[in-house]
Structure 1
Amino acid sequence: MAGFQMLFLLVLSCVAASLRSPRQLPPCQVVQMDVFCSDLSLRSAPVNLPHGIQMLDLSRNMLQNLTHETLAFHTSLHQLNLHSNKIHFIQPGLFKDMANLKVLDLSRNYLDVFAHSKTNIGPLTAVESLDLSSNGLYTGMTDYFIGESPSLANLSLNGNSITKIAKNTFCGSLALRNINLHNNVILEIEDGAFDTLLHLTELDLSKNSITCITDFNLSQLKVLNLSKNSMETFQTTDSDIVYDLLYLDLSENKIPYFPLLPRRNKLMYLDVSRNRLRSVNVTGTAEELANFGDTFLAHAPPDSSTRHQIFSNLIYLDLSYNQIKSIPHSFFCSMISLEVLNVSNNCIGSFFVDQEGLLENLKVLDLSYNALQKLSFEENTLQSLEELFLQGNVLTTLDPRIFQRLPSIKSLQLQQNDLKICVSQQKQTKPPLKYQNHYNPPGCVAFSSVPTLQFLYLSENNLKALPEFAFYNTPLKLLDLSLNPGLEMDPNSLSGLENSLVHLYLRENNISKLNTDLSSLSSLKFVDLSTNQLTTLPLWNKESSIESLNLQNNNLVTLEYNTVLALERSLKTLYMGSNPLSCCSNLRFLHMVQRSAVVVPDIETVTCVYPQDSEPVNIERVTHELCHTLDNRSVSIIVIVVIVVVVLIIVLGLLFKLCHSRRRKHNRSFNA
């Protein structure tokens, strides 16, 4: 009977399930004439969409066969997004009647399956932008998709498996302006493959396997990206034609010599970083070529102005991560517009700018991580330089006034060198000026009276002393003196920065006591004193504007009440981990952490110790009541000890008296 009841209930549940309406998928979003149906697990477009829609987004669904029925016979579309489906079949002629379709995204599907059938999808009469990226397409397959695309201007074939660009690849889409072939495995480009594309202005061939280009002749091209290939040569066809190329990226290749570029060009951006350049010569050795400019003169017509037209428009030049040992100043003679020069991570031992007017528009110069030992800037050079990167070199001796010759300098990156700092001549108070060499260390560099300098990085310079008035008349906003173990700061070393300094970094200097008065720095907001040996905090007054303070990894036991009170007004972020704090001696600090708006990001590592306990506890677990209880317990113990001591004294007194009285009785009996 029980089995029959269970069977009856099962039948009823099945009937109820069959009568239940099918699962409703979330509806598409309709915004005016645009319909968004992405991520709905659809196998076709919904049939109840408004008539005459212009944009349909069916991305990230389950579409497999693309037919008129799949698209619900919508022919008025301007944009169709089918990105990330499972499409492996397209009905031939499907897009023929879509006379207004301008943008078609078929990326991340399985169109290689369709291409195996060797069937054309039919004309894309009006399509201007077509995305076929990440479809597993290889050489020859693109013909079935773009063979009849007279209006196509933008084509993306990114992330496929194309190995060769044939001469007739783009013959059905002569209006192309932008082609993206990034991340394929292109080994060969047939001669003339792009020659018929008279409107082509942008070509991305990055991340392929191209080994050389010896006859670049696409004079109408404006943007060319050849980065991340295996190129060993880039050479332009010898011609007097003016090339429109503005952007050329040759980074991450194997080029040993500077590329041979068009004599007459408009180039503004050139990246040759991460190659194998040993010099800036365009061919061979120094014996074969005196310098880069002369090589171009050898190819150029006899015109005295030709040399100055070579790179007269160049704004950005990146030669970083190569093996360059030296750069002659003649290399820069034609670069009258250059604003950014990056030659970091090379083998350059010396760098001189000694010709007036040279690099006069340069704003950023990156010489970091070379082998620089000599550096010189003459007067009236680098007049526009704002950022100078010199970190990671072996600079020990510089002209003391080298940075005062840079009238626009804002940021100096000098970390990881071996420099010494001069005292300001204007405020020198110890020896007179004629004895300056006895007071200033030999080879020191002056950072005073640089009126535009705002950011100065001097970490890891083996600095031992920071003299008085070191930055006088230099309105620094940021000063990094970290990682200079044993640094001794004169009490007046930061004088002159009272109204400007906002960031001060002094971490890992083995400082046990900060002699400099930081309370006078009224604009100071961010201070890093971590990983030192501080036992007390610097004094701050109520006018303190400190917002972020890092005191991690010091020897702080007790924080001064007045200092905590002054900081509490402005402090927003505090790092305090890895200090041997006393729990009950820092109740004001605990109150600030637990009840104020101060954020302690490393709160889990901030611990303290109770007087009678050696095990540290997290400061969040400390309460005033517990400390008071401990104080009362301590008082009780002290009272008990005092009482015991008093009782012992009384007992000892009584015993002494008793013994003394007995001795007197004994003496009297003896005399009798």
Structure 2
Amino acid sequence: MSNKKLTSLPRGLLHKLDLLTELNLESNQLTHLDANVFTNLVNLNELKINDNNLESLPQEIFNGLKSLRFLDLESNKLKDLEPKIFNNLSNLQYLDLKKNNLTVLSKELFIGLTSLHWLHLESNGLTSLEPDTFNDLSNLYQLNLNNNKLTSLPQGVFNGLKSLEKLYLQSNCLKKLERDTFKNLFNLDELKISNNSMTYFPLDIFNGLNSLTWLYLDSNRLLHLDSGIFKNLSNLEYLDLRDNCLREVLQLNGLKSLRWLHLSLNELAHMRYHELLDLPTLWEFNINNNSFETLPHYTFEKMEQLNSLNLQSNRLEHLEPNIFNNLSKLYKLNISRNILTCLPHDVFHTLICLSHLSLGWNHLDTLEPDIFDSLSNLNELRINNNDLTSLPKDIFNKLESLTVLDLNSNKLTSFEAETFNNLSNITYLDISKNKLTFLPPGTFDGLKSLRRLNLSLNQLDDLEPNIFNDLTNLHELKLKGNYLTILSQEIFNGLKSLEELDLQSNKLTIIEPDTFSSLANLKQVDLSRNNLTTISSGVFNELKFLRQLNLQSNKLTSLEPNTFQHLSKLATLNINDNKLTHLSQEIFNGLESLYCLDLDSNYLTSVKPDTFSNLPKLEILYMNKNISPDISTDNFN
């Protein structure tokens, strides 16, 4: 009976359905229910009345539902609930009241719900709670009070919840909590107090929470935490303190099981020896987005199990030579967005398991030739957005496992031909946004696994024949924003797997007839924003799988008949913003799959009949901003 636009239930509609076990009334428009509407449903297990317009419920509405285990009242407009309204639901295990308009809860509201496991009260307008509200819920497993307007919690409010394992208080307006707020929650496993207005926690507030595994205190206004506040949380594995106002690294004594620690987005600036983090089981440590200018060499020495370390977006000017010495199991290291100008000679030499290294957005202007020599397991290396002008010839020689290398946005003017030759497993290489004027022969030799190569926004004015000859698995080649004027016939030899070629925003004036002849699998070509005045006959003849061709913003004055005749798969053709004055009747021959044709912003004055007659699948045609084109309806017959 869901989604039927019901506004009410006829009296007696359900009276004879005493064998019914499930009733779904969700997503109707019910505004009220009679007190005895469910009275005879003695075997009902599941009742869904969510997503309606109920503002209130009669006191007796659930009388007789002795077998009910699941009750969903979510997303109504309930403002208040009668005391003891659930009193007879002794077998109820799941109660959902979220997304209503409840502002207060009667302290007798949940009397009788001795079997309840899950209680959802989130996303209401609750401003306060009575001290004994939950006293009867001795078997409750999960309590959701998040996304309300609670500013405080009364003393002892959770005292009766001896079975509680999940407590969600996030996204309220809590400013203060009493020291014994959680004292009887011996089985609590997960506690979320994030996104409130807490500035301080009493020293012993977490005492007794011996089972706690997950603790979320992020997005508050914490200025300080007392030393030892977590000392009794011996089973805690996850601690989130990010996005607060902490200025000192707290001592975390006693957290012998901690695996995840988040301290990012605070105001931490100094690490003193007495704050040394003795966390032998720590697996992930995030202190990014703080204000550290330096870190002592002993900072991580008692974190032997560390797998992931994020130091991004601090103010680090240098690294101590031995700072990572004990991190032989580190897998991921992010030091990007600092102000490093150089790296100590052996700073990475013990990181034998490192797979991901991010050094981008620093001020590195030089790198030692053997800086990465010990990183034989490195999979991803990002050195983008630095000030590098050159690279030592052998700098990447030992990186046999590398698959991603990002060097974009540096100041590289050249490099030796052999610089990349040992990277046999690399799949992605980005050297865009540098100042390269020349690529020496053999630059890409040996890169048999490379699939994506980005050389955009350099100053390349010529490319050697066969420069890409070894890149037999390359799928994407980006050369946009260079100074190329001519493409020779042998420039793309070897690129038998290439699917995307971007040559936009160069200075191309001519493309030789066989330039693309070896690119049999090409699907997308962008030649826009160049200086092409003509297209050589047959230049596209071998591109039988091409689907997108962009010739926009060139200087084409005419196109030869049958220029595109072999492009039977072409779906999109853009010749916008050129200087075409006419179109021959055979110009679009062979384009049997063309879906979109853009001829905007040319100098067309007329179009001959039958010009478009060979385009059976054309659905989109742009011809704006031409010179008063005289187009007959015969063109589209």
State the SS of the aligned residue for 1:42: coil
| Corresponding residue for residue 522 of structure 2 | 546
Corresponding residue for residue 184 of structure 2? 196
Aligned partner of 2:334 in structure 1 is 366
Structure 2 residue corresponding to 1:36, chosen from 24, 27, 30: 24
Residue aligning to 1:647:
none
Aligned residue in 1 for 2:118: 129
CA distance change for structure 1 residues 146 and 442 in 2, over 3 Å: closer, same or farther? same
Change (3 A) 1:546 1:249: farther
Task: Note if contact 1:79-1:102 (Cα within 8 Å) is conserved in structure 2.
Answer: yes
CA distance in 2 between partners of 1:48 and 1:529 (Å): 75
Q: Deviations over 1:542-601 (max 9, x none)?
A: 5533334444433344445544233332x3455554444455347534884xx635356x
> Where does residue 302 of structure 1 map in the other structure?
none
| CA pair 497-341 structure 1, distance change in 2 beyond 3 A | farther
Residue 543 to residue 224, structure 1, CA distance change in 2 (3 Å): same
CA contact 1:544–1:567 (8 Å) conserved in 2: yes
Paired position in structure 1 for 2:506: 532
How big is the shift at 1:200?
A: 0.8
Q: Is the 8 A contact 1:403 1:450 kept in 2?
A: no
Shift in CA distance, 413/61, structure 1 to aligned 2, threshold 3 Å: same
How far apart, in 1, do the equivalents of 2:611 and 2:83 lie?
Answer: 82
Alpha-carbon offset, residue 160 of structure 1: 1.0
Q: Are 2:169 and 1:181 aligned?
A: yes
Residue of structure 2 in register with 1:610 after alignment: 580
The answer to whether the aligner puts 1:220 opposite 2:195 as a matched pair is no
Per the TM alignment, residue 81 of structure 1 is displaced from its structure 2 partner at its CA by: 1.4
- Return the letter of the residue paired with 2:429: L
Q: Does 1:278 align with 2:269?
A: yes
Offset, 1:530: 3.3
1:501 to 474, 478, 485: 474
Deviates more, 1:43-52 or 1:264-273: 43-52
Provide the C-alpha distance between the structure 1 equivalents of 2:282 and 2:466, rounded to a whole number of angstroms. Answer: 42
* CA distance 1:241–1:377, shift in 2 (3 Å): farther
Cα distance between partner residues in 1 of 2:350 and 2:426: 17
1:588 to 549, 558, 563: 563
Matched ranges for 1:177-326 at <5 A: 177-213=165-201, 215=203, 217=207, 218-237=209-228, 243-279=234-270, 281=271, 289-290=272-273, 292-293=275-276, 310-326=278-294
Identity %: 25
SS at match of 1:155: strand
**Matching of residue 410 in structure 1 with residue 379 in structure 2:** yes
Is this contact kept in 2: 1:421–1:445, CA < 8 A? no
- 2:86 alignment partner AA: F
1:100 and 2:91 equivalent? yes
Q: What's the CA shift string for 1:179-208, capped at 9, x where partnerless? A: 111111111111121121101111111111
Unaligned runs of 5+ in 1: 1-21, 282-288, 297-309, 427-439, 629-672
Cα distance between partner residues in 2 of 1:246 and 1:419? 41
The letter of the residue matching 1:202 is E
In the alignment, residue 415 of structure 1 is paired with which amino acid?
Answer: N
How has the CA–CA distance of structure 1 residues 496 and 590 changed in structure 2, closer, same or farther, with 3 Å as cutoff?
closer
Shift of the 504–385 alpha-carbon distance from structure 1 to 2, 3 Å rule, reads farther
Following superposition, the deviation at residue 223 of structure 1 comes to 0.7
The alpha-carbon deviation at position 166 of structure 1 amounts to: 3.4
Mapped to 1, the partners of 2:202 and 2:117 lie a distance apart of: 32
For structure 1, which segment, 222-231 or 254-263, has the greater mean C-alpha deviation from structure 2 after superposition? 254-263
CA–CA distance in structure 2, aligned partners of residues 23 and 132 of structure 1: 26
**8 Å contact 1:606–1:618 — kept in the other structure?**
no
Q: CA deviation at 1:225?
A: 1.0
* Alignment correspondent of 1:12: none
Query: Using the alignment, how far apart are the partners of 2:191 and 2:478 within structure 1?
Result: 46
What is the distance in 2 between the residues matched to 1:321 and 1:222? 25
Please say if 1:159 is aligned against 2:147: yes
The correspondence for 1:450, drawn from 413, 423, 427, is 423
User: Which entry has the higher C-alpha Rg, 1 or 2?
Assistant: 1
- Distance change in 2, residues 1:505/1:225 (3 Å): farther
Going from structure 1 to structure 2, the CA distance change for 1:208 and 1:136 (only over 3 Å counts) comes to same
By how many angstroms is 1:68 displaced? Answer: 6.0
Alpha carbons of structure 1 residues 23 and 211: separation in structure 2 relative to 1, 3 Å: closer
- 1:517 matched to which residue of 2? 491
Cα deviations by residue, 1:13-66 (Å, 9 ceiling, x for unpaired): xxxxxxxxx9967999x9x95443322112357769976332222221011222
Tell me if the contact between 2:151 and 2:175 (Cα under 8 Å) persists in the aligned partners.
yes
Q: Note closer, same or farther for the CA distance 1:418–1:146 as it changes in structure 2 (3 Å cut).
A: same
The amino acid of 1:313's aligned partner reads: T
Aligned length: 560
Larger deviation: 315-324 or 545-554? 545-554
Q: Compared with structure 1, are the counterparts of its residues 422 and 278 closer, same or farther at alpha carbon in structure 2 (3 Å cutoff)?
A: closer
Q: 1:626 to 1:598 in 2, by over 3 A?
A: closer
> What is the rounded CA distance, in whole Å, between the counterparts of 1:252 and 1:509 in structure 2?
43
Cα distance change, pair 54–519 in 1 and its aligned pair in 2 (3 A) = farther
CA deviation after TM superposition for structure 1 residue 396, in Å: 1.6
Residue 341 (structure 1) shift = 1.6
Residues 509-531 of structure 1, C-alpha deviations (whole Å, 9 max, x = no match):
34444578234123333333333
- Render the CA deviation track for 1:395-421: whole Å, top value 9, x for unaligned: 221123434542122222222223245
The correspondence of residues 35-114 of structure 1 with structure 2, limited to 5 A, is 35-43=23-31, 52-67=43-58, 70=61, 74-112=65-103, 114=104
Whole-Å separation in 1 of the counterparts to 2:102 and 2:340: 54
Deviation, structure 1 residue 70 = 4.5
Name the SS for the 1:248 alignment partner.
strand
Q: Which runs of 5+ in 2 are unaligned?
A: 396-412, 584-598, 614-637
CA contact (8 A) 1:128 1:154 kept: yes
Secondary structure at the residue paired with 2:162? coil
Amino acid at match of 2:281: N
Equivalent position SS for 2:563:
helix
The one-letter amino acid of 2:185's match is L
Query: Aligned to 1:341, what secondary structure does the other structure show?
Result: strand
| 3-state SS of 1:41 partner | coil
Mapped to 2, the partners of 1:214 and 1:133 lie a distance apart of 26
Amino acid at match of 1:198: F
Change beyond 3 A, Cα 1:252–1:529: farther
Shift of 1:342: 1.5
Aligned to 2:298, the other structure's residue is in SS state helix
The residue number in structure 2 matching 1:640 is none
**Contact 2:421-2:446 at 8 Å conserved across structures:** yes
Superposed displacement of residue 219, structure 1: 4.2
Larger helix share, 1 or 2: 1
Q: What is the one-letter code of the residue matched to 1:268? A: R
